[in-house]
Amino acid sequence: MRALVLGSAGSQPTPKAGCNCRLCTLAREEGGRALRTGPSLYLPAAELLIDTPEEANLQLNRYALAPQRVAWTHAHPDHVAGLRVVQFLAQSSGRPVEGWLPRPLYPLLAERYPLAHLVDAGYLELHLVAPGRPFELDGVRITPLAHELEEPVFAYAFETASARGLYAPDHVRSLPLPEGPFDWAVVQMPIPPLDALPFELPPDHEAWRSFYTFDEALEAWRGRARRLVFTHVYESVGMTPEELDAVAARAGDWVAFAYDGFETAAASASAADRLAAFRAEQARIEAAYGHDPKRMRAELRKLWMRQKPESD
Ligand SMILES: [Zn+2]
Ligand SMILES: [Zn+2]
**Phi, psi at residue 62, to the nearest 5°?**
-55, -35
Residues 148 and 294 in one domain: no
| Separation between Cα atoms, residue 181 and residue 238, nearest integer Å | 32
Q: Which ligand is nearest to the CA of 235?
A: 2
Burial 65-90 (b: 16+ CB within 10 A, else e): eebbbbbbbbbbebbbbbbbbbbbbb
Residues 66 and 131 in one domain: yes
pLDDT score for 281: 80
What is the CA(246)–ligand 2 centre distance, in A? Answer: 21
Q: What is the pLDDT of residues 198-214, one digit of tens each?
A: 999 999 999 999 999 99
What is the CA(236)–ligand 2 centre distance, in A? Answer: 7
pLDDT score for 301: 87
Residues 279 and 229 in one domain: no
213 torsion bin: left (phi>0), alpha (psi -120 to 50), beta (else): beta
Q: Which ligand is nearest to the CA of 12?
A: 1
Q: What is the pLDDT of residues 57-73, one digit of tens each?
A: 999 999 999 999 999 99
Q: Which ligand is nearest to the CA of 240?
A: 2
What is the CA(29)–ligand 2 centre distance, in A? Answer: 13
What is the CA(65)–ligand 1 centre distance, in A? Answer: 22
- Confidence category of residue 245, pLDDT binned at 50, 70, 90: very high
Q: If you compute the radius of gyration of the chain from its CA atoms, what whole number of angstroms results?
A: 21
pTM of the model: 0.85
Residues 282 and 170 in one domain: no
What is the CA(124)–ligand 2 centre distance, in A? Answer: 35
Contact (Cβ atoms closer than 8 angstroms) between residue 109 and residue 115: yes
Residues 157 and 33 in one domain: yes
Q: Does 178 sit behind a cis peptide bond, omega within 30 degrees of 0 on the bond before it?
A: no
Q: Which ligand is nearest to the CA of 23?
A: 2
Identity of residue 158? F
Beta pairing class for 262-263 and 255-257: unpaired
Residues 161 and 280 in one domain: no
Residues 188 and 42 in one domain: yes
Burial zone of 207 (CB within 10 Å; 0-12 exposed, 13-18 middle, 19+ buried): middle
**What is the overall mean pLDDT for the chain?**
93
Q: Which ligand is nearest to the CA of 24?
A: 2
- Confidence category of residue 266, pLDDT binned at 50, 70, 90: very low
Residues 298 and 174 in one domain: no
Residues 260 and 229 in one domain: yes
What is the CA(234)–ligand 1 centre distance, in A? Answer: 9
Specify the CATH number for the domain of residue 191. Answer: 3.60.15.10
| Separation between Cα atoms, residue 311 and residue 241, nearest integer Å | 25
| Separation between Cα atoms, residue 73 and residue 152, nearest integer Å | 8
Q: What is the pLDDT of residues 138-195, one digit of tens each?
A: 999 999 999 999 999 999 999 999 999 999 999 999 999 999 899 999 999 999 999 9
What is the CA(140)–ligand 2 centre distance, in A? Answer: 38
What is the CA(8)–ligand 1 centre distance, in A? Answer: 10
As for how many domains the chain has, the answer is: 2
Q: Which ligand is nearest to the CA of 16?
A: 2
What is the CA(170)–ligand 1 centre distance, in A? Answer: 5
What is the CA(135)–ligand 1 centre distance, in A? Answer: 24
pLDDT score for 271: 63
Residues 276 and 135 in one domain: no
Q: Which domain covers residue 305, as residue numbers?
A: 271-310
Q: Which ligand is nearest to the CA of 54?
A: 1
Residues 211 and 142 in one domain: yes
Residues 212 and 285 in one domain: no
Residue 128 vs residue 270, higher pLDDT: 128
Contact (Cβ atoms closer than 8 angstroms) between residue 128 and residue 108: no
